[in-house]
Amino acid sequence: MKQGIKKVKAPRRRFLHLALGLLCLLLQVPQARAQRVPLPDTTGQGNSALPALLGDTVRVRLELQPDSLVAVPMGPMVVDSVRLEWLRTPPTMRDLVCDRVGCFETDVPHTFNNSVMAYVTLFTARNRSYLQRVLERENFYFPIFEKYLAKYNLPTDLKYLAVVESALIPTAKSPVGATGLWQFMGPTAGDLRLQRDEWIDERMAPEKATEAACKHLRYLYGIFHDWELVLAAYNWGAGSVQRVIRRTGKKTFWDLYPHMPAETRNYVPTFTAIMYSMKYAEAHGLRTPSLRYQYAEPMDTLSLRGYAFDLRRLSRACGYEDSLYLTRFNPELRRAALPAGYRPYVVRFPAAAAVHLGDVDRTTLLEYCQPTAALPQALATLPPRLDGVEPWVSQSVLAATEGPRTSEEAAAPRFRRVPHKVKRGETLASLAERFEVSQSQLRRWNELPKGRPLKPGRELVVFVPLPAAAPRRAPMATEVLPMIAAAPRPVVSTEEVAARREQAAANAREVARLQDVVRQEKLQEARLVGIRQRQAIQQAAAEGQARAAARRMAQAQAAVVTEARRNEAKATTAALEPEETPEAVASAPEVNTGTYTVRKGDYLTKLAREHNLTVSQLMAWNGLDAETVTPGQRLMLHAPAADAGAQEGARRQSKPMASKATAVAPARAAPERKGLSPQVHMVQRGDTLFNISQRFGVTVQGLRELNHLTSDDVKLGQKLLVPQG
């Protein structure tokens, strides 16, 4: 045994001796230095510079190719072998991706960093199947996105945003409720006019949702003017991004990066990685022949127009084995059917399927697509369970009785909305009296401040109370209402059915008669309003004509009086004796001439009140066009015809025609002075110029002229002159 062991140990010792010898030889070899490129041999001794040992691998002659990076003669310059090895090494994947992303010609975010590279690795290496499923749907949805992005003048590469949101799945729904290709929340969809109900959700309609997304992106870009912040606001909300900008004072996405939630921080890098991965899908081997690509097809439409519809029956009619095949072309349908009476809807199906439909018309096709079973209906709301309160058994029992709030409904007033334009002279009190409402109601309906007068031309809204509705028919004594635990419904006889029909016909005739009466009342009211308007127009025209005639008559009378005075003066001058002086002649007629010299502080209203006259009389007798007078002006305080009657002989000698005019004038002036003597009226609560004019039979303009008013406003306790007659 010992000899065998010695024989085994002998070869091991030889191996150890050999290893030690080789180690000593390696220690004697000089350390490797940087290679030097030898210069061409110009002395003719080409092999003299070669090393003696052909097996030396440290210093060798480099045979450089013409296209080599180091082919340029470098002289005594040293070339680092590590640098040369780096030049020969192909670029890494990170550098390649960085170069490709930097070459993107787009306005959307394409900044490259470690976060982007991590997502590029995820989509191109670790989770390739996700991006391959997206590539299958790319040709189906991207043409729709590009059409609407071009329509709203947005960057075309924003189409990759839908991939980040929903992976091009139109029915995708997030845990928080965002739905559709562009993942709209409910409030945002409402702002963008996307309709949602229990049958249809337009957030899942590709074209409508894409157009809404373009509008929303354009709105966000108008706020931030930076596409990185636009994408962050699309995910986090515009208000949240604005708040963090105000709080930090920073205005770029990467400056705000630490202050955002994790989902928003990863949103922009994910978008850049998706855009790169889909643009360079072939370079990474993502496009394979085994993928089932989807392409757009020519489509045909079918308008329902309120018909009940079952999409499964249309799929069978078009020859598809899958009854839900057409749902991929109508993803906004939450159910595969629509009820009768639903709003207008258009169903889309491939045009190639029209071959299976043949020459069938639209009505026949819609009748075939009617649901075979009743569509699910919404559950009836249950009344709340309250202690000590017995709820109504059913709707039929509630309809058969008057109900608990019949008295309140009958007592509550019902109103009709009537627009009204404020006219000159109308006040809040007059309108309240006219429409039979209170002033506080008018102020509350129109938000009118208290104590401020109405301005003519303002539009008001008045709720006029309607006549009380006819009381409900009380149940007859012979009518038995169903009870909570009622027996099975008894069979109704033919006579009772006929009686009910006759009663229903009588009720219908009565309703028609009442409607006819209401219509006739409205026509009569409209006729009366038209008659009142015509009468008001005629009265205003007559008053205008009367004022014009009075003005013309006053002017004619003034001309006659002036001519008579001129003739009288001439006759008086001729009859004077020589010893009389002109001063005596001039002072003689001032005794009883019936005139008044205007003094400082006088005005027509004051003079009319002192002499028991009206302003219109003074203006007519003196030929005044306005109510202003100047100090020193002479005014006649009586009709001009009175002077002509007193000096009838002089007028008869001077002008025979003047006597005829003065003979007729006193007869007309007498009743005028007798009927137009004004009276004083004190303004009461609720009075307006319009009410006072209606009460005394005069016009609003006449009251304003008589009392020198510049507006239609009057105050409580104010005294007004009102002409009689």
**Whole-number CA gyration radius for the chain:** 54
pLDDT given at position 298: 92
pLDDT tens readout for residues 172-216: 999 999 999 999 999 999 999 999 999 999 999 999 999 999 999
H-helix segments, 152-266: 160-166, 186-191, 206-224, 227-236, 238-248, 253-256, 262-265
pLDDT given at position 216: 96
pLDDT given at position 362: 87
CB within 8 Å of 397: residues ≥ 6 apart: 481, 482
DSSP 370: S
CA distance readout (Å), 9 to 6, 17, 20, 393: 5, 13, 17, 108
571 in Cβ contact with 650 (< 8 Å):
yes
Structure tokens, 569: 């003066």
Owner of token pair 């401040």: 449
109 in Cβ contact with 227 (< 8 Å):
yes
pLDDT given at position 25: 60
311 in Cβ contact with 346 (< 8 Å):
no
Residue 89 CA to chain centroid, in angstroms?
63
222 in Cβ contact with 194 (< 8 Å):
no
CA distance readout (Å), 183 to 102, 194, 363: 29, 12, 37
Rounded Cα gap, residues 427 and 448, in angstroms: 12
End-to-end CA, the chain: 164
pLDDT tens readout for residues 218-251: 999 999 999 999 999 999 999 999 999 999 999 9
pLDDT given at position 658: 39
Rounded Cα gap, residues 584 and 587, in angstroms: 5
pLDDT given at position 54: 40
Rounded Cα gap, residues 360 and 366, in angstroms: 10
Rounded Cα gap, residues 216 and 192, in angstroms: 8
Owner of token pair 């309240």: 432
pLDDT tens readout for residues 516-536: 888 888 888 888 888 888 888
Structure tokens, 616: 């219109």
How many helices (DSSP H) and strands (DSSP E) are in the chain? 29, 10
pLDDT given at position 571: 66
Listed as ranges, residues in the chain with pLDDT below 70 are: 1-15, 17, 21-91, 376-383, 388-414, 467-493, 571-593, 641-677, 725
> Mean of the per-residue pLDDT values for the chain?
77
